[in-house]
Amino acid sequence: MLFSKVADSDTLSWVQSLPKTETHLHLEGALPYEELHRWKPAEFPRDPDFLHGEYRFQDFAHFETTLLGHAVPWFTSPERYHETTKAVIQKLQAQNVHYLETSFHIGILEIIGINGEEIIDAIKSAVPKDFSLRLFMGMVRNSYQGVGKKIIDDFPNWSALDGVDLHGPEDLPLEEWTERAWAEARQAGMEAKAHAGEFGSVENVRAVLDRLPITRLQHGNAVARDETLMNLVRERDITLDMCPVSNWKLRATSDWASHPLPRLLKAGVRCTVSTDDPLVIGNTVTDEYLAMAQFLGMSREEILQVARNGWIAAKVPEEQKRKSLEALD
Query: Listing from the earlier edge strand, what are the strands of the sheet with 132-139?
Result: 20-26, 97-105, 132-139, 163-166, 191-196, 216-219, 239-242, 271-273
Query: In terms of C-beta distances under 8 Å and separation of at least 24 residues, what long-range contacts does 208-214 make, across chains too?
Result: 208/166, 208/174, 209/233, 209/236, 209/238, 211/174, 211/178, 211/179, 212/166, 212/174, 212/178, 212/179, 212/182, 213/182, 213/183, 213/186, 214/182, 214/238
Q: Known catalytic residues?
A: 198
Smallest gap from Cβ 246 to Zn ion, in A, equals 7
Distance CA 217, CA 241 (A): 6
CB of 159 to Zn ion, least distance (A): 25
Query: Considering only residues 168-197, where is the footprint of Zn ion by CB under 5 A?
Result: none
Note whether 279 and 69 are within 8 A (CB). no
Q: How far is the CB of 167 from Zn ion (least distance, A)?
A: 7
Of residues 264 through 293, those in contact with Zn ion by CB under 5 A are 276
Whichever of 276 and 288 has its CB closer to Zn ion, that residue is 276
Query: In terms of CB distance, is 281 or 298 closer to Zn ion?
Result: 281
- Of 7 and 30, the one with the shorter C-beta distance to Zn ion is 30
Number of residues that bind Zn ion (CB under 5 A): 1
Q: Which is nearer to Zn ion, 276 or 287 (CB)?
A: 276
268: region left, alpha or beta (phi > 0 left; psi from -120 to 50 alpha)? left
Closest CB to Zn ion among residues 2, 7: 2
Q: Cβ distance 166 to 140 under 8 Å?
A: yes
| Whole-number Å distance between alpha carbons of 329 and 175 | 44
Tell me how far, at minimum, the Cβ of 222 lies from Zn ion, in Å. Answer: 15
Q: State which residue, 170 or 324, has the beta carbon closest to Zn ion.
A: 170
Q: Among 237, 156, 195, which Cα is nearest to 64's?
A: 195
Per DSSP bridges, beta strands 20-26 and 271-273 are: unpaired
Closest approach, Cβ 272 to Zn ion, in A, equals: 13
Output the residue with the shortest Cβ distance to Zn ion. 276
Q: Which of residues 207-246 bind Zn ion (CB under 5 A)?
A: none
Q: Which whole-number Å values give the CA distances from 64 to 46, 69, 76, 169, 241, in the listed order? A: 20, 8, 19, 10, 20
CB of 300 vs Zn ion, minimal distance in Å? 27
Which residues sit at the interface with Zn ion, rule CB under 5 A?
276
